[in-house]
Amino acid sequence: MKEKVSLDYLLLTLVEMGMVAQNQVDSATAAAKVDEKGVVDWLVGQKLLTEWQVAQARAAHFGAEVIEDDKVVVARNWRKRLPRSVGARFFKEHQVVPIQINSAGGRGVCRVAMNDLSDLDTIDLLNHLIRMNIVVLVASRPAIRSALAKMRDRAGR
């Protein structure tokens, strides 16, 4: 049920921002059911939307900052600054990229990039594990996958 609610707010935001027309959403809804895909994924697959536009709409809905794809880079100091319980496996599993960590001044701040700000469970878990203030930026799914792949490649060296 969470998926349906998420799609409704996202589709409404995409229409309000003029990134897709309501008639395209209506057509995509029917086509996505036939293809057994989500409506947003169907629109992206048909190149009627880009992942970047979807990220912008998510950010707009939540009043969050969107981070450009080329800026989604794993913080170099993440292994030194974060507890061992938060390893590369955690970030891959939850699709979160640590992009900046500043532990100075009390509790510290960890800026992370993720695609779905409605995933409050992941944000709460990360907050509990690292005990830092978390600032979440919205990034496209391909940018997150690319940054996490580079994190994995660096860890393999």
pLDDT at position 76 is: 87
How does pLDDT run across 22-38, given as a tens digit for each residue? Answer: 999 999 998 988 888 88
- Which pLDDT band, with edges at 50, 70 and 90, does 131 fall under? confident
How does pLDDT run across 84-130, given as a tens digit for each residue? Answer: 778 888 999 999 999 999 877 678 899 999 998 889 999 999 988 88
pTM tops 0.85: no
pLDDT at position 7 is: 64
> Please, what is the end-to-end C-alpha distance for the chain in angstroms?
41
**Residue 61: φ, ψ to 5°:** -60, -40
SS3 content of the chain, % helix, strand, coil (to 5): 55, 15, 30
Q: How far is CA 111 from CA 71, 100, 138, 152, 157, in A?
A: 12, 5, 11, 19, 25
Cβ atoms within 10 Å, residue 128 = 9
Average pLDDT for residues 31-46, to the nearest whole number? 90
Instruction: Name the percent of the chain lying above pLDDT 90.
Output: 62
Q: Record the tokens describing residue 68, joined without a space.
A: 């450009």
Q: Which residue has the tokens 């935001």?
A: 13
**What residue ranges define each of the domains in the chain, with the CATH number in brackets?**
2-49 (no CATH), 69-155 (3.30.300.160)
